[in-house]
Structure formats: structure tokens, C-alpha cells
């Protein structure tokens, strides 16, 4: 099994992370089969004019199509700075609207272990911030698990963002020679 795709970049102000879902061939084949079965049920129900079955099958088909698109083309885009986390999901043919979650006084990242059969050890990133009362609260958790090595790269990138912020906030004024 391949690991899920991971790309990280920074411009010094923001950290840009792209996660790509890589589903197994067996999983993709099962989804294709289920989509074909659901389509067949809709066609048969339409031929027999069974309205309730048409409506129920269509709702199930739409949910299954969205799930299938996520498993075939799914990507997750994260943009993190010291004030907010912006995330967006890409389903291949459409993208969700970008969502922005504010970050309080600090940002912590936890890597929660995910146990999946047939795949190497993977983790799910959970972003935790402290609110105005200094209580920890979950700001966001990623939908696509990544390897521990990639999680460490995200943690290092976020630490560098905050280190740059602290340096800018508390540095002495520049010294000019007269």
C-alpha cells in the first residue's frame, strides 16, 4: 500500500499543506460495483414506477457518488498561520468552500495514531488552540491520515511560524551606527 500524498510549503507567513488520499484498488472496485448496483436499482424502480424506491435509491446514490469521488480524487488543502487555519476539500470535480477557524493564543498539534490493516502506521493531525479563557479546544483535525515523518514536518513548520512571530514581537530595535 502506498502512503497518502503529502506536500508542504511555506512563505514565512503561512504554511501550505496538501494531503492527497490514495485508496486501494480493491476499495475502488467495490465503490464502482456499488455505484453500478445503485444505478441499476434506480433504473428498475423507474421502469416499474416505484416512486419511494426511486427517491430512496437516488439519495443513497448521491451520497455514494460523493464518497466515491472523495476516494478517487480526494485532496485536502490546509493553510495555517499564527491567527487562523483555512481548510478546503477537493473532490476532483468540485471543491467545498474554504472554511476558516480562528486560532487563540497558541497552536498545538497532536498526532493521533490510526490503525489500518495493510498500511504502515499512520497518524491523524489534530490542531488544538487555547481560547480567550486559556482552555484548550480543538480547532481542526485532518480527514486524511499521514505518516509520522510527515506529521513531524508539519509540527516543525508550525513551530517555525511561531518562532518567527515571537522573534518579530520581542526583538530589540535594530542598532544603527551614527
Three cell numbers at 69?
A: 469521488
Q: Does residue 177 lie within any of the structural domains?
A: no
**Contact by Cβ (8 Å): 8, 161:** no
Helices within the chain (DSSP H only):
25-47, 51-73, 148-170
Q: Does residue 49 lie within any of the structural domains?
A: yes
Whether 170 shows a pLDDT value over 70: the answer reads no
Q: Per-residue pLDDT tens for 93-143?
A: 999 999 999 998 888 999 988 876 666 688 999 999 988 888 899 999 999
**Hey, is 124 helix, strand or coil?**
strand
pTM of the full structure: 0.83
Residues 12 and 34 both lie in one domain:
no
164 or 121, higher pLDDT:
121
Whether 168 shows a pLDDT value over 60: the answer reads no
| pLDDT confidence band for 57 (50 / 70 / 90) | very high
For 25, phi and psi rounded to 5 degrees?
-65, -40
Residues 63 and 123 both lie in one domain:
no
**Partner residues linked to 87 by β-bridges:** 78, 99
State the residue range of the domain holding 58: 26-71
For 112, phi and psi rounded to 5 degrees?
-90, 130
pLDDT of residue 116: 66
- The count of domains in the chain is 2
Residues 93 and 55 both lie in one domain:
no
**Hey, is 89 helix, strand or coil?**
strand
Residues 132 and 144 both lie in one domain:
yes
Amino acid at each position: 500500500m502506498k502512503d497518502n500524498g503529502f506536500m508542504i510549503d511555506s512563505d514565512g507567513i503561512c504554511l501550505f499543506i496538501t494531503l492527497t488520499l490514495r485508496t486501494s484498488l480493491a476499495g475502488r472496485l467495490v465503490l464502482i460495483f456499488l455505484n453500478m448496483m445503485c444505478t441499476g436499482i434506480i433504473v428498475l424502480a423507474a421502469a416499474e414506477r416505484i416512486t419511494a424506491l426511486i427517491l430512496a435509491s437516488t439519495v443513497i446514490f448521491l451520497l455514494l457518488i460523493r464518497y466515491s469521488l472523495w476516494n478517487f480524487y480526494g485532496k485536502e488543502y490546509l493553510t495555517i498561520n499564527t491567527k487562523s487555519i483555512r481548510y478546503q476539500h477537493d473532490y476532483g470535480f468540485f471543491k467545498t468552500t474554504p472554511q476558516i477557524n480562528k486560532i487563540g493564543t497558541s497552536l498545538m498539534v497532536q498526532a493521533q495514531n490510526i490503525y489500518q490493516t495493510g498500511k504502515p502506521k499512520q497518524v491523524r493531525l489534530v490542531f488544538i488552540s487555547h481560547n480567550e479563557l486559556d482552555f484548550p479546544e480543538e480547532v481542526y483535525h485532518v480527514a486524511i491520515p499521514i505518516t509520522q515523518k510527515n506529521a513531524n514536518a508539519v509540527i516543525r513548520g508550525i513551530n517555525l511560524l511561531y518562532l518567527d512571530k515571537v522573534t518579530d514581537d520581542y526583538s530589540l530595535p535594530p542598532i544603527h551606527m551614527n
